[in-house]
A and B are shown apart, each in its own frame.
Chain A
């Protein structure tokens, strides 16, 4: 292995680890690229005159607002959970990850139902006050999807930032404080930059989910760039132009993550955790303010929607024990576990190929992980096309099989595993590998006895996160599932196809509860890994 961090050197052989991943991801990406062989100027003229200006504006607004919101909420909550102490912290901390278990579309239809003109809140207010305050009425307008998405996506930032903070945030903070700087300035100038790779990984996940989302924005009627993708496909019957639009979205997001990488300053490695200082104790009113802040986020993002689901489910709660329900649960978990295992392996390949490699490699890695930025249905179609073409050439039956679905999960979610792994890897001291090498350990030994054990928390986080994501995934599962592999998400789709959201409450509730198990495990693990006292 070449010596670390010498710019302009030859690429390490490890880069070849990306090859299998690039081949797999390359199949659907090739389909996207091929769509450009023919461009219909007429459709593009129509799109760019009537749709794109407004929709691109909406997407940018969504990106900025949801990005800023998820960042502020995620980092703020994570700092409190990881480094401070206040009443109720132990309870609030693991629960704050729970919005992750809610599919975004479920959160959206619950809140629109509650906040709509005809919904209970506005009706009550009209009865009491005669009219609804404008800001409440605004929440049911199309832009009301913005806060919903912040609630749905802040957990990505929270999860990864919290892991980073609890690993070294306090050490850095205390060091900074001992040099006489104020708490805010230390937080901004030391703790935050040290956690930047983790925070950015979380933010990237949140932004890609936001921009590729179709369900929640459709429920609120907030037209975004993905609306143009689907409108072109479903309304204008032009899948090619739709695919072209989707590939533009993907390129934009790719450019964004690469730009962020380019501006990253020299690696700020966090301090080790050998001697971990005490948490910052927030006393009196400040402590209770922290509690109230976290509590209200929890109330809005979890307690209220969960209660609503429960209320809607009550009449059908008896069906919970049917064999049908058990089969759905079993399928969901099995697909999730199988898919997540594949995703974690993919994430490991990305990590090993890119670990301390020159920046050029990052372009390849980001490309291999770009499936997350493609709207789900378009990706599913691309995979379907790629596999059926392969089937024709090789005379196989990949397209109808389980493998196709697992491949789709890998292509779509490999970034979800990569983020946590990179976050952990960034904290490993490279000297360890040098030492191991000088002691005669082979490349394989170094991987097995040094790298893997150190990555363990990241591996588990990656696995659980991918599991939750796959359980929630809808379009690819719908399109690529073999017979007999219906999942909870598919049942939700089937029940809501005609807009009867309440009918889907029971499967949605089960999905959220199932998703909550790995979500809580995630945070418990982080609690262990933190090693922060008290």
Chain B
């Protein structure tokens, strides 16, 4: 590999040299091109064929070209699952949670248990399709996502298996896990209101639905309905308030928008700070990051629906795959991630809330005070997601 990089560099310097001479030295330039085509390309082709062949012979350990060789040993997971010893050497995780938020956890887990973890990161939809396509040949034992809707979708498609774990049932609140035990929450992500204190008196704020009122005309900012966080919120509202009422509310929000929906929560909060709008709907940790950098950040947080249904929360969570080669170790990892140390890291690293009680919060997060969360089981956010998306389409939420 180093060789090919060097060749690349050599090629670029050569080309430069030749260029400066090219007015007189066309033959030399041609000689070089000759080299490039007659020597370099065939060499690369040879490498391609080599790599291709070694892959064809299903699962031979890695080629010389491959970096970080441990990956090579991972290859033949097809029928080793049932006879695997109690403590496997390696566990494969598919995660849509950002690597920098899970990798330190994986490292600690490896240190404690001796089980190394290989992970693939991608968007949850892609990971679910990958799992579905791989079927019983999947190398993955654990799926981690950053919302419940996609975990529900994976379970619905038969890609997750029930976990029989008293530990998890005891630690993770019932509304944050699947009633059939196919997935469990690992951290809580609250979606609530933020406002600019100069232009909004917090006494004016109460519920999500109240933002549909005429007094908020031209003052509201929303993220696009493309984001699953908004789809889950709408799904839970349909469950609580019914489809008709929810559509009225969402339509009211759209009429009150100060500007087109934003593509990220961070941009939305910055817009509130800059005065483009007065109030918005975001996940708390986005505000946490900005407040951490600047304690005087001019945007404040308000816990919505405290006198009614509670704040809408979602989870980052995990499940064991149906065809997990290492189901027991997968369960072990999920259980381990609900342990105190892991929970503290999860809470601190992305300023989210832990799923188990008694874990210290990040000071910025603690400063927002306590809140009551909605207690409807999060499975609903998946069950009603398609319904919610259609409702948002009808209401014109882009």
B255 at the interface (CB under 8 A from A): no
Per the 8 Å Cβ criterion, residues 302-359 of A in contact with B are: 327, 329-331, 333-334, 337-338, 340-342, 344-345
A118 at the interface (CB under 8 A from B): yes
CA A218 to CA B267, docked complex, whole Å:
13
Residue of A nearest to B264 (CB): A499
| CB-defined contacts of B55 to chain A, threshold 8 Å | 397-398, 401-403
B137 at the interface (CB under 8 A from A): yes
Interface size bracket, A side = 35 or more
Stretch at the interface among A162-170, A201-209, A433-441, A517-525: A517-525
| CB-defined contacts of A118 to chain B, threshold 8 Å | 267, 270-271, 273-274, 276
A391 at the interface (CB under 8 A from B): yes
* B355 CB, min distance to chain A CBs, angstroms: 19
Where chain B touches its partner, the secondary structure class is helix
- Given A388-B137, A494-B99, verify A123-B260 contact (CB < 8 Å): no
Q: Is the beta-carbon distance between A117 and B134 smaller than 8 angstroms? A: no
Partner of A338, one of B48, B137, B263: B48
Per-position 1/0 for A380-398, Cβ under 8 A of B: 1100110010011001111
CA A331 to CA B2, docked complex, whole Å:
10
Q: Is the beta-carbon distance between A399 and B15 smaller than 8 angstroms? A: no
- Given A220-B263, A221-B261, A237-B153, verify A495-B98 contact (CB < 8 Å): yes
Q: Is the beta-carbon distance between B260 and A141 smaller than 8 angstroms? A: yes
Q: Is the beta-carbon distance between A218 and B263 smaller than 8 angstroms? A: yes
- Given A46-B390, A118-B274, A331-B67, verify A406-B19 contact (CB < 8 Å): no
Per-position 1/0 for B1-19, Cβ under 8 A of A: 1101100100110011011
Partner of A499, one of B37, B65, B265: B265
Stretch at the interface among B68-76, B237-245, B304-312: B68-76
Q: Is the beta-carbon distance between A483 and B98 smaller than 8 angstroms? A: no
B292 at the interface (CB under 8 A from A): no
CA A531 to CA B262, docked complex, whole Å:
50
Q: Is the beta-carbon distance between A231 and B33 smaller than 8 angstroms? A: no
CA A391 to CA B139, docked complex, whole Å:
14
Partner of B47, one of A237, A338, A397: A338
Q: Is the beta-carbon distance between A384 and B394 smaller than 8 angstroms? A: no
* B120 CB, min distance to chain A CBs, angstroms: 7
| CB-defined contacts of A381 to chain B, threshold 8 Å | 126, 129, 133
A478 at the interface (CB under 8 A from B): yes
CA A330 to CA B68, docked complex, whole Å:
12
Q: Is the beta-carbon distance between B70 and A484 smaller than 8 angstroms? A: yes
Residue of A nearest to B78 (CB): A397
A235 at the interface (CB under 8 A from B): yes
Q: Is the beta-carbon distance between A116 and B389 smaller than 8 angstroms? A: no
B344 at the interface (CB under 8 A from A): no
Q: Is the beta-carbon distance between A330 and B5 smaller than 8 angstroms? A: yes
Per-position 1/0 for B339-372, Cβ under 8 A of A: 0000000000010000000000000000000000
Q: Is the beta-carbon distance between B385 and A221 smaller than 8 angstroms? A: no
Per the 8 Å Cβ criterion, residues 207-239 of A in contact with B are: 218-221, 223, 227, 230-231, 233-239
Q: Is the beta-carbon distance between B130 and A221 smaller than 8 angstroms? A: no
* A181 CB, min distance to chain B CBs, angstroms: 31
Q: Is the beta-carbon distance between B58 and A524 smaller than 8 angstroms? A: no
Residue of B nearest to A218 (CB): B263
Per the 8 Å Cβ criterion, residues 441-480 of A in contact with B are: 452, 456-457, 459-460, 463, 475, 478-479
Q: Is the beta-carbon distance between B126 and A478 smaller than 8 angstroms? A: yes
- Given A499-B264, A517-B12, verify A221-B398 contact (CB < 8 Å): yes
B393 at the interface (CB under 8 A from A): yes
- Given A118-B267, A237-B386, A484-B66, verify A337-B118 contact (CB < 8 Å): no
B36 at the interface (CB under 8 A from A): yes
Q: Is the beta-carbon distance between B226 and A384 smaller than 8 angstroms? A: no
* B56 CB, min distance to chain A CBs, angstroms: 7
B266 at the interface (CB under 8 A from A): yes
- Given A118-B270, A484-B70, verify A334-B65 contact (CB < 8 Å): yes
| CB-defined contacts of B45 to chain A, threshold 8 Å | 341, 345
* A217 CB, min distance to chain B CBs, angstroms: 10
B44 at the interface (CB under 8 A from A): yes
Q: Is the beta-carbon distance between B386 and A236 smaller than 8 angstroms? A: yes
Partner of A397, one of B41, B59, B271: B59
Q: Is the beta-carbon distance between B126 and A475 smaller than 8 angstroms? A: yes
Q: Is the beta-carbon distance between B126 and A497 smaller than 8 angstroms? A: no
- Given A118-B267, A483-B120, verify A235-B126 contact (CB < 8 Å): no
Residue of B nearest to A384 (CB): B133
| CB-defined contacts of B274 to chain A, threshold 8 Å | 117-118, 123
B228 at the interface (CB under 8 A from A): yes
CA A328 to CA B26, docked complex, whole Å:
37
| CB-defined contacts of A218 to chain B, threshold 8 Å | 226, 263
B200 at the interface (CB under 8 A from A): no
Q: Is the beta-carbon distance between B56 and A396 smaller than 8 angstroms? A: yes
* B186 CB, min distance to chain A CBs, angstroms: 16
CA A459 to CA B125, docked complex, whole Å:
37
| CB-defined contacts of B4 to chain A, threshold 8 Å | 333-334, 337
Partner of A384, one of B12, B129, B224: B129
Q: Is the beta-carbon distance between B263 and A221 smaller than 8 angstroms? A: yes
A142 at the interface (CB under 8 A from B): yes
Q: Is the beta-carbon distance between A525 and B226 smaller than 8 angstroms? A: no
Q: Is the beta-carbon distance between B133 and A399 smaller than 8 angstroms? A: yes
| CB-defined contacts of A396 to chain B, threshold 8 Å | 56, 58
- Given A330-B1, A397-B58, verify A337-B44 contact (CB < 8 Å): yes
Per the 8 Å Cβ criterion, residues 280-336 of B in contact with A are: 286, 289
List 4 tightest A-B contacts by C-beta distance, closest first: A499-B264, A483-B71, A401-B55, A484-B71
What are 14 A-B pairs with beta-carbon distances under 8 A?
A51-B393, A112-B263, A218-B226, A221-B262, A230-B226, A234-B228, A235-B386, A338-B44, A338-B47, A341-B45, A385-B129, A388-B137, A460-B37, A483-B74
Given contacts A235-B228, A381-B133, A528-B18, 10 further A-B pairs with CB under 8 A are A50-B390, A50-B393, A118-B270, A234-B226, A338-B44, A380-B126, A396-B58, A403-B55, A452-B37, A517-B12
